[in-house]
Amino acid sequence: MSGLGKYKGHDRRNLIIKSFPSDKDVAALGEIQALRLMGDLVDFGKDSERKPIIIMKRQDGSLLEELKAYKTANDEQKRKIRKETLKLACSKAASEAVHKGVWHKWLIQAQTPSDNHWGNILITDVESGSVKSVKLIDYGGDFNNYLVYGEGRDLEHESSFDGYCHLVWDWD
């Protein structure tokens, strides 16, 4: 969002508008629900052309290929950094599934890997060339990407989600 000031109590510089083609209402709805569960949704509606739009909080972090440690690494070091990033991303996806009820599309689109890419993982902390924390972004998709559970979310479920992530996304 351009301009100074606030929108619904948020500094406009810290917001992003995402628009969808007019035939993607279902994708927008799935992302709206996931962003609401994650606490990142600010607003939603339609633009002047009746296309769905979402206003969400901007997320901090860097893409893997933007990191100095990754850019300057040799092939073996890059492989190590990718593996540690994937491990953190799987753990984050599992935690979000269990504790927030959001099953991140990055984790579940095993059959359509075109949207599973490093651009959906933001690196939020690096220490001595090692990735220490990540943030997953982009919750949209033409399906329901949120979970409805009753009681009993626990670490057993989290380890199942984490294990599935590693099984499907062992990229190296």
pLDDT tens per residue, range 150-168:
444 555 577 777 776 766 6
Count of beta carbons in the 10 Å neighbourhood of residue 168: 16
What mean pLDDT do residues 77-98 have?
88
**Residue 156: its pLDDT value, please?**
58
The pLDDT of residue 163 is 74
The whole-angstrom separation of Cα 85 and Cα 143 is 26
39-53, 85-99, 104-118, range with the lowest pLDDT = 104-118
Model-wide pTM > 0.85: no
Confidence of residue 4 (pLDDT cuts 50, 70, 90): confident
pLDDT band at 3 (very low <50, low <70, confident <90, very high): low
